[in-house]
Amino acid sequence: MQLIRGAIRTYAWGSRSAIAEFTGRPTPTAHPEAELWLGAHPADPAQLEGPNGETSLLDAISADPEGQLGSAVRDRFGDVLPFLVKVLAAGEPLSLQAHPSAEQAVEGYQREDRRGVPLNSPVRNYRDRSHKPELLVALGDFEALAGFRPAARSVALMRALEVPGLVPFIGLLADQSDASGLRALFTTWITAPQPDLDVLIPAVLEGAVSYIRSGAKEFASEAKAVLELGERYPGDAGVLAALLLNRISLKCGEGIYLPAGNLHSYLEGMAMEVMANSDNVLRGGLTPKHVDVPELLRVLDFTPVLDARVTARRDGIELAYDTPTTEFAASVLTVDGDDLGHEVDAPARHDGPQILVCTRGSVVVRAKSDEVRLDRGAAAWVAADDGPIRLEASEPSRLFRATVGL
């Protein structure tokens, strides 16, 4: 078991304080810090801290895949850590995006290779051959748009805004089945000529302002989201797309799961993420980065999502989040109450590796080979041959734990 130092990614939508405060560094930072990567992705592997300095987790796995990953994980995924953990801090809304399925990722990667698009090119969509299902667990209040809502609810929202320019689009959506109507309307908006957007979007923003001023409550959060996006990204078709997505507010510890094809945008807040070990993103707007609308339309799933939230099951000190993925499993380990001052066993998942991140308090983690103290913002790598783990804390504390899925 070793302490692990994550790689910080600086994007415009990040925060100059959230991740720095979380990891105990001075604020404000020179650049907005958006993500802290804790994993072995080739683009930015984390560093293991040892007596002789730091070693890339990617190199450590390559040097001893059996000890680091375990035979069961190697049999399923080869000599690769199949998941990636991130601390995410959204100071501004992220791009409107979706991730490909496993088959789409392989096909897209090979297609861009044949076209000679360099892996580090800003216009490259597929940087690896993996799909990217992901789970997000809020570290506080967190706001998101995730998944197409049922068409009838979107029709009700657009009618509530009372914008004459939306009338033909309401008809387009209402006259078809949910998935077909959502595909037709989203495609119409996302490919609309800019002059048309420059007329419709301001009208929608005026409708949102009027709705909020009226004191109506039913769609207040949706109207506020549209206004915020319209102010940050004037004339962007993604502002209209927000009318079709579920508006989700999470409290600390609540999570959402995003499978392949789920259109989403994180709006504000700080969270833990765990995902398949991939960096494949298809963007459709709300960003200065590369946008590829035709490719996004290829991967999107227009089936309405009733609720993207995940259920969680408690097993002793562990709250485990239910997802269908094999690449990862995630849970929160809490030491409080009568457990304080005593060593407690963390439920054993299996014999694979673990990444632990302290999100509250301070915990001493003991494994076979060693023990480490994790204060808030600190992380540890537990190799497959070093588990199971035991925990001890003198104050209420939490660990986010990521492992390989069963």
| Ranges assigned E (strand) in 163-300 | 245-250, 255-258, 264-276, 282-285
Name the active-site residue from 149, 283, 360, 398.
283
CB 317 within 8 A of CB 391: yes
CA–CA separation, 243 and 145 (whole Å): 10
CB 132 within 8 A of CB 82: no
CB 182 within 8 A of CB 304: yes
CA–CA separation, 367 and 161 (whole Å): 57
Tokens of 138: 């809020």
CB 377 within 8 A of CB 24: yes
Q: Which of 273, 331, 34 is nearest to 132 (CA)?
A: 273
CA–CA separation, 363 and 193 (whole Å): 55
CA–CA separation, 184 and 38 (whole Å): 39
Q: Which residue has the tokens 């059996």?
A: 66
Q: Which residue has the tokens 């999502």?
A: 305
CA–CA separation, 228 and 280 (whole Å): 26
CB 320 within 8 A of CB 331: yes
Residue 19: other Cβ atoms inside 10 A = 26
Beta bridge partners of 255: 137
Q: Which of 34, 29, 35 is nearest to 6 (CA)?
A: 35
- Residues, the chain: 406
Catalytic-residue membership of 283: yes
CA–CA separation, 332 and 309 (whole Å): 16
Rg (CA), the chain: 22
Residue 28: other Cβ atoms inside 10 A = 11
CA–CA separation, 346 and 318 (whole Å): 7
CA–CA separation, 66 and 119 (whole Å): 29
State residue 134 phi and psi, 5-degree precision: -145, 150
Catalytic residues: 283
